[in-house]
Structure 1
Amino acid sequence: MGPKATCPCGGSLPRLHVRTWIEPVVASTQVAGSLYDAGLLLVVKASFGAGAENSSNHSTSPSPREGVEDQQQKAISNFYIIYNLVIGLTPLLSAYGLGWLSDRYHRKISVCVALLGILLSRLGLLFKVLWDWPVEVMYWAAAVNGLCGGFSAYWSGVIALGSLGSSEGRRSVRLIFIDLIMGLGGFCGSMVSGHLFKQFPGQSRQGLVLTACSVSCATFALFYSLLVLKVPESVATPSKARPTVDTVSGTVGTYRTLDPDQPDKQNVVEHPLSPGKVKPQKIIIALLFVGAIIYDLAVVGTVDVMPLFVLRKPLSWNQVQVGYGMAAGYMIFITSFLGVLAFSRCFRDTTMIMIGMVSFGSGALLLAFAKETYMFYIARSIMLFALIPVTTIRSAMSKLIKDSSYGKVFVVLQLFLTLTWVVTSTLYNEIYQLTLEKFVGACFALSSFLSFMAIIPIGIVAYKQASWLKYADITER
C-alpha cells in the first residue's frame, strides 16, 4: 500500500482519494452563501429603509419611529416572499433532470451546474451594490440560480457523492460530517459578514467588500468541482438487489448492533424477505418523507422569520449583531455532529431523530417569548441538536435504495423540501405581518407545535422497526 491520508469522517484512504472529498466545495460554497445571505438582508434593509425615511419626511403628519420600522419590516417581508417564491419554484424546471443526468452520465453534473447558478446569483448582488441597481434585480438573480438547479440540485449531488464514498454503517456520521463542514463555513462567513459590510464608508457602496468576497468563494467552489474533484468509488454493500430482514433493521439501525465495516454476526440473516415484506419498506420511506416535510415546515418558518425578528424591537440589532446571530445559528452544525457521534453508539436512528425534533421545538417555543438578546442566544443553545433529524432521515433512506438511484431519489426529497420551503416562507411571512403588533413571536410558537407533530410519523417508524426486529428473532430461531 502507498502512503495514507486521513479520511475526514474517520479511517484512512489512499492519498489519491483526497480528491474525492466533497468538503472543500461544501465549505467554500457555504462561506459564499453566508456572506451572500447577510449581505442581501442588509442591502435590502438599507434600500427599503431609505424609502421609508423619505416617505416619512415628505409626509404632512410624520409617523412615529415605530410606524417607520413596521413599514420597513413589511417591505422587507414582501421582498422575501417574492424572492423565495422565485428561488424555490424555478428549480422544479431543472433539478430532477440534472439528477437524472448525474445518475446516467456523470455524478458531478448536478453539483457543477448548480454551482454555476450560485456564482451568477452572487454576481447579481455584487453588481447591484456596485452600480446601485434597483433591488428587484435580485429576483432575476434568484431565477438564474433556480434554473441551474439551485440548492436542490446542488445538495442532492453533494449527498449522493458523500453516500457513495461511505459504507452503510458510517453513513450517518459521514453525512453529518458534511453538514458540520457546511456549518463551520457558514459560521466563519457570518462572523465576519457584519464587519465586511461596513468596510466601505460611503452609503452607496456599502457591502461591496462583502459581496466581492462571496463571489470569490463561489468561484473557487465552481473551479474546484470542475478541475479537482473526482467521483468516489462506491463502497456501499454490494448485495442490494433483494432486501433482507437486516436491511430493514439497518434502515434505522443501531450502531451497537451494526459494525461500520463488517456486518455483525447476529445481524446476518440468510433468508430474504418474502415479497409481502418488500412493501413495508415503501411505508418506511413514505413515513420518513412525511416526518422530514413536517419538520422542515417548522425549521424553515423559524429561519425565514428570524432575520426580520432581530431587526425590529425589542431586539433591534445592528449589522455586526446580525452577523453574530447568524453565526450562532451555524453552531448547531457542530453540536449536531457531536450529538450523532455520541448518540449513535447507544440509540437507534429514530431515537436520534426525535431528540433533534424535541431540541428544536423547545428552542422555538422559548424564542417566541424572547425580549432580550441573551434570551435569543439561550433559545439558540437549546436548538443544539436541530440538524440531526433531516440528515439522519437521508442516511436512513440511502440504505433502502440502490446507489445508482441516489441522484434521483435525493433530488426528489430535496424538491419536496424546497416546495415546503416555498409554501412555508410565504405563509410565515404573511403570519408575521398579521401578528407584528399583537404577538411578534407567533411564528415561532407555530414552529414549535409543528416540530413536536413531526415526531408522530417517526414514532410509527420506530414501532414498525421494533416489530420487524422481533420477527427477525423469531425467524432465526
Structure 2
Amino acid sequence: MASSSRCLNTFLVVVRRVEPLVVLAQLGTSLFDTALLMVVKDRCANATYPLTDAHVSREDDQQRAMSDFYMVNNLIIQLTPIVPAVLLAKAGDKGWRRAPVAVPLCGYLLSSVALLLVVVLKLPIQVMFAAAVFFGISGGFCAYWPGVMTLVSLGSTTETRSQVMMRVELMYGVAGLLGSLLSGHVFLLYSSSVGYGTVLLCICALLHLLSLIHATVLLQVRQVLGEPDDSSSRLLPQSSNSISVDISTRRNMVIVILLFSAAILYGSSVGGAVEILGIFVLKEPLHWTAMQVGYGNMAGFVIFLSSFLGAIVFRRCVSEVTLILIGMLSFASGIYLMSFVTTSYMFYLARSLSLFALIPLPTIRSLLSQQVPTSLWGITLTALQLALRFAALAYIPAFTKLYQRTLGWSPGFVFMLSSILAVLGMIPISVVGFIWSRSIRPVETEVTPERNRVDKEN
C-alpha cells in the first residue's frame, strides 16, 4: 500500500511538470508540419508563373509557389505575435505564469483544426493565412517557448539551469523525432470517406487539445527555495567598491547585448536554412515522398538528443562560452555540406555534422537569465524571442527570394549563406569569452600584492 502510494505521488509530480506538456504539444506540431508541407505541395502542383523564362520547368514553378506560400505564412507568424507576446510575458511576470503557455496552445489547436477543414472541405490553402493570424494573436511560439523556459528557470538553481533547459530541449526533440517518424506513415492512411492527411490531422488536433488541458488544469508552477530575486552575474565578479560595481554593470550590459547579437545571427542562420530545407528535399534530385519527409524531419530531431548528450559531456571540461562555439561550428559545417547534397545519403551525412547545433540558443538563454533579476526573466526571454522574430522579417524574404533566383544554377547556395551567418555569430560569443577572461584577472592581481604584504609583515 505504501509503495503504491509513493508511485502515485511520484506519477502526479511528474505529470504536473512542464515536460509532459512539451511532449504533447511537440508531437502534435511535428504531425502538423508534415501534413502542411504535403498539402501545400499538392495544392501547388499546377502552379504557373507566366512571366518566368520559357526554360523554367513545372517543378521549378511548384517550388516557387511553395516558397511564396511559406514566406507569407511565416512572415505572418513572425509579425503578429509581437504585441501579444509582450503582454503575455508581463502577465507571466506579474504571477500569471501559466498564461504565456496556455494561451498560445489555443492557437496551436486552432491551426490544426483549420488545416483539417482545408483537407476535408477542399478549401483553398490560403485559409491557412487566416489561421496563422489567429495563431500569432495567441502569442504563438514567440510567447509559448519563453513561457516554458521561464517555468524551467523558476524550478531550477543557477548551477543546474542550463542543464535543465537542455533536458527540456531534449524532450522537445524526442517528441518531434517520434512524431516525424510516424507522420509520413499516418499521412498516407486513407479510406473512401476521408482523404490523405485527415487521420493525421485528427490526431494532431487531439494532441494539441490534451496539451491545452494539461496547461490549464495540471501544470504546476514551482520556484526553487533559496534562489535570490536578483541573480548575480556568473560572468563577472562582485565587488563592494562602487566604481567596480559601475564597471561591472556596464560590462554586464555589454555581455547582454553581445548575447542578443549572437542569438540573432545564429537564429537567422538556422531559421533561414530550415525555411528552405523543407521544400528543397521535394525537388529533384531528392524528390522525397511523405514518408521520406517524415524520416528527414526525424533526422533533424535526432540533433536534440545529440545536442543534449554533447552538452552534458562537454560541460565537464569546457566553459559555457566554448560550448556555444562548438554548437555554432557544428551547424556551420553541416549546413555548408548541405549546399552540395544530391542524394539522400549526402543529406543524412550533412545532418550528422550538425549534431550539436541546438546547444547555442538554450545556453544563451541560460546565460541571459543569470544576468537579470528573477522578476525580469519572462520579459527578458520574451525580448530575445521577439528579437529573433524581427530578424525573421528580414531573413525569411531574403532567403526565399535568393532561393527562387538560384533554383536554376545552385539551389543550395542559400545554405552557404546560412553557414556564413553561423560563423559570424561566433564573433560576439568570442568577445564574451574574452571579457569573461579579462574580468577575472584584476581580482587576482588585487589579491596577490595584499597577500605578499601580509606575508612580509609576518
Partners of 1:72 and 1:26 lie apart in 2 by: 34
Secondary structure of 1:94's match?
helix
Query: 2:31: which partner in 1?
Result: 35
Instruction: Say whether residues 1:93 and 2:83 are aligned partners.
Output: yes
In the TM superposition, 1:5-404 aligns within 5 A as 17-49=13-45, 51-52=46-47, 67-201=57-191, 205-235=195-225, 237-238=227-228, 240=230, 243=232, 247-249=233-235, 273-404=244-375
Could you tell me how far 1:126 is from its partner in structure 2? 1.0
Q: Which moved more, 1:421-430 or 1:456-465?
A: 421-430
Give identity over the alignment, percent. Answer: 37
Change (3 A) 1:17 1:5: farther
Q: Which moved more, 1:199-208 or 1:388-397?
A: 199-208
Unaligned residue ranges in structure 2 (runs of 5+): 449-458
CA contact (8 A) 2:230 2:374 kept: no
CA contact (8 A) 1:357 1:386 kept: yes
* CA offset digits 1:17-75 (Å, max 9, x no partner): 435521011111111111111100000101111x34xx79xx9xxx89x7111111111
Secondary structure of 1:238's match?
coil
CA contact (8 A) 1:4 1:14 kept: no
Partners of 1:124 and 1:167 lie apart in 2 by: 41
Secondary structure of 1:73's match?
helix
Partners of 1:448 and 1:299 lie apart in 2 by: 9
Instruction: Say whether residues 1:415 and 2:386 are aligned partners.
Output: yes
CA contact (8 A) 2:181 2:298 kept: yes
Could you tell me how far 1:92 is from its partner in structure 2? 1.2
Change (3 A) 1:473 1:326: same
TM-score relative to the length of structure 1: 0.88
Secondary structure of 1:274's match?
helix
Partners of 1:379 and 1:364 lie apart in 2 by: 7
Change (3 A) 1:453 1:211: same
Partners of 1:233 and 1:16 lie apart in 2 by: 17
Partners of 2:401 and 2:345 lie apart in 1 by: 27
CA contact (8 A) 1:126 1:211 kept: yes
CA contact (8 A) 2:239 2:245 kept: no
Partners of 2:392 and 2:226 lie apart in 1 by: 31
Partners of 1:422 and 1:124 lie apart in 2 by: 24
Partners of 2:256 and 2:32 lie apart in 1 by: 35
Partners of 1:436 and 1:201 lie apart in 2 by: 37
* CA offset digits 1:200-258 (Å, max 9, x no partner): 156972100111111011001000011101101234631637x4xxx3437xxxxxxxx
CA contact (8 A) 2:31 2:183 kept: yes
Partners of 2:446 and 2:218 lie apart in 1 by: 49
Partners of 1:237 and 1:470 lie apart in 2 by: 28
Partners of 1:318 and 1:94 lie apart in 2 by: 37
Could you tell me how far 1:5 is from its partner in structure 2? 12
Secondary structure of 2:81's match?
helix
* CA offset digits 1:371-413 (Å, max 9, x no partner): 1110000000000000001110000011111111111111111
CA contact (8 A) 2:264 2:391 kept: yes
CA contact (8 A) 1:86 1:143 kept: yes
Secondary structure of 2:277's match?
helix
* CA offset digits 1:86-110 (Å, max 9, x no partner): 1110001311011001111311111
Secondary structure of 2:402's match?
helix
Unaligned residue ranges in structure 1 (runs of 5+): 7-12, 251-266
CA contact (8 A) 1:126 1:208 kept: yes
Could you tell me how far 1:306 is from its partner in structure 2? 0.4
Partners of 2:397 and 2:226 lie apart in 1 by: 40
* CA offset digits 1:75-94 (Å, max 9, x no partner): 10111111011111000131
Instruction: Say whether residues 1:448 and 2:419 are aligned partners.
Output: yes
